[in-house]
A and B are shown apart, each in its own frame.
Chain A
């Protein structure tokens, strides 16, 4: 009897507890892949790119030749209101737990992004390691751009960010780090900038005007729709500056995030060489002399020679390698110095854990300056000690050795 009651109760429990938590059918869910936040005169404008398989009639649900994404644009006085409006427009449950990108519009960034954290930090669906980007112009344009590569546009954008970081071109900024830096360092942070190149649009215009010429109409489409090479500098939660490609790479060196990078070095005769840094270790250390604080960047890097542009009949010798290495050292030092001077001294953005380094190495001094540390940023000094060691010659090694013999 007891067993029967137990079994009946267990079965009843299975059915009675199934609807206790709200659930959403997959077909009724809009899986957001990228979010763009812009500021307009009426409030926030949210552009959501969501997964929309376009395999109609095919054997598979996804058509890999198409961009399987749609967008929805919604406005609201707060981000939450805009999300609610997007749900009303879209008609499906909006699920942001699988989001890949958060793109901030230039106007929003310039007017201050504090309100962003209030929504995304609190939202239980926020994925903490998604990439944050700042767009030049409205963020909506980036999320709406049609990328005919891969299954999803947002996935391709994410890959572009990943590749740029792997090649030491930018300093990547996951959401949690953006929020953490802003909170800990008086609203200072650096975020990669994404901008439209218009490559695909120009090409489609060309095709439209010269539709009679079959050779042009059959040309392969360009994929350079967007590019990421600049960096946005935040101070007091506001976009203070956008620095160029060289400064962006300098920031990557300063932050010790460069895993691999290619530099074009030059010898005294103007011969060019591609040097690939395959290992790089950077350390930023403060030195104290009276009231003067000097940050010393020590970089130790190992490199290989990928390409040398020499006139016919000339070979690369060990002396030339040393010259190319010195040229690479100067390039890195210049990029880092430019980045430090521009971002830290000119823009006075408290990045690179400078305050933490002073706190750790000289707590007394830190106690004295911590309250107005941003004002001390312009007084900081900077020095570099770069060492590039070319250890791999590829298959041209024999030529170098032959010349020495």
Chain B
């Protein structure tokens, strides 16, 4: 995102973690292939390993260059760059629309059943639009503060749930254990669309991008495993009857101080949805600004907002249409094409597209020779 200033690697990592948490707390096993609850938990653990393996090309690429994925693609070939631009734009817009659709789905089903979905979508979009006008620095600072709030809320929920945890719910997986664990793990991994943002935000990171990515993966894995563990041990197989399992475990907390912990959960949902929509909107805006001429490009944010809002309004109209994007992302097509294959292609052509990386290597060799 060359239009914006630099932000610290910690701010980027924490902001992306908050965004990813939206996907974790909205995870709905009722819509996924039937699996045993232990497979759901173990799938979360295994997804860490899959994500680490899948992100290796990205890590290797950004160890050698600090340019973003679109710049590198254009350097390889302008035609290829344009295709990558289109794919990235579709991926980023799809993630933003999916966030808004999921958000309104929760709000109209669990919080305000009588509210109009358009009001929910419009208010979220206004907030996200304002945040993206503030730029990457503003969003990253907000993300860091929100991370602390989210962390405190999660720790509170986890601690107050201690007497509801039943380890008997984690039973041996009886039916096709490997297949069901891998299936769940892949679904978890495929929802890591935040890596798209990371690949675009690399030039803005102060410090080492590869290390930041590694930190992000490890942090998100810890949180994912903790949340999966809580859901699996508190709800057991009952999870498969819940549309919002994490919301359910927040509801069963019995505390003398706060009677309804689900209110905290609602706060988390709003915070993470807002930040995720803002960041994807900002990325879409940044992509458009890079390609379009200035006089058209300055309307990119407004244009992206309208596209996201219209698409979200259209898709949230019915149950089947609202699941379209969720299923599309869950199957992993955007993840495989943009996060696995694209970095591999760029990594193989690194000498051609990143002279700085080659120069650095030659300089290193020269420095090594006298020794």
Interface residues, chain A, with chain B CB atoms under 8 Å away: 13, 17, 20-22, 97-98, 121, 124, 127-129, 174, 176, 179-180, 183-184, 353, 356-357, 359-360, 363, 366-367
Contacts and interface: CB of A to CB of B under 8 A. Distances in A.
A22 B114 CA distance: 7
A161 to B, nearest CB: 12
A128 B113 contact: no
Interface in B198-234: none
Given A20-B116, A363-B174, 15 more contacts: A21-B114, A22-B115, A121-B241, A128-B252, A129-B251, A129-B252, A174-B252, A174-B254, A176-B252, A183-B237, A353-B168, A359-B174, A363-B171, A366-B174, A367-B174
Contacts of B253: 129
Contacts, number: 63
B110 interface: yes
Contacts of A13: 126
A204 B67 CA distance: 86
25 contacts: A20-B116, A20-B119, A21-B112, A21-B115, A22-B115, A124-B111, A124-B113, A128-B252, A129-B254, A174-B254, A176-B252, A179-B238, A180-B235, A180-B236, A180-B238, A183-B238, A183-B241, A184-B236, A184-B237, A353-B166, A356-B168, A356-B171, A360-B168, A363-B174, A366-B174
Interface residues of B, number: 29
Contacts of B111: 124
Contacts of A174: 252, 254
B134 to A, nearest CB: 14
A357 to B, nearest CB: 7
A356 B254 CA distance: 25
A363 to B, nearest CB: 5
A366 B111 CA distance: 41
A13 to B, nearest CB: 8
B251 A363 contact: no
B251 A128 contact: yes
A356 B232 CA distance: 14
A299 to B, nearest CB: 18
Contacts of A21: 112, 114-115, 119
Interface in B244-289: 248, 251-254, 259-260
A382 B116 CA distance: 57
Contacts of B114: 21-22
Contacts of B259: 98, 127
Given A21-B115, A360-B171, A127 B235 contact: no
A129 B160 CA distance: 13
A176 B110 contact: no
Contacts of B320: none
A366 B36 CA distance: 15
B109 interface: yes
A174 B249 CA distance: 13
B113 A127 contact: no
B123 A360 contact: no
Nearest to A182: B238
B122 to A, nearest CB: 9
Nearest to B118: A20
A355 to B, nearest CB: 9
Nearest to B262: A128
Interface in B297-318: none
B260 A127 contact: yes
Nearest to A366: B174
B241 to A, nearest CB: 6
A128 B119 contact: no
A359 B172 contact: yes
B358 interface: no
A353 to B, nearest CB: 5
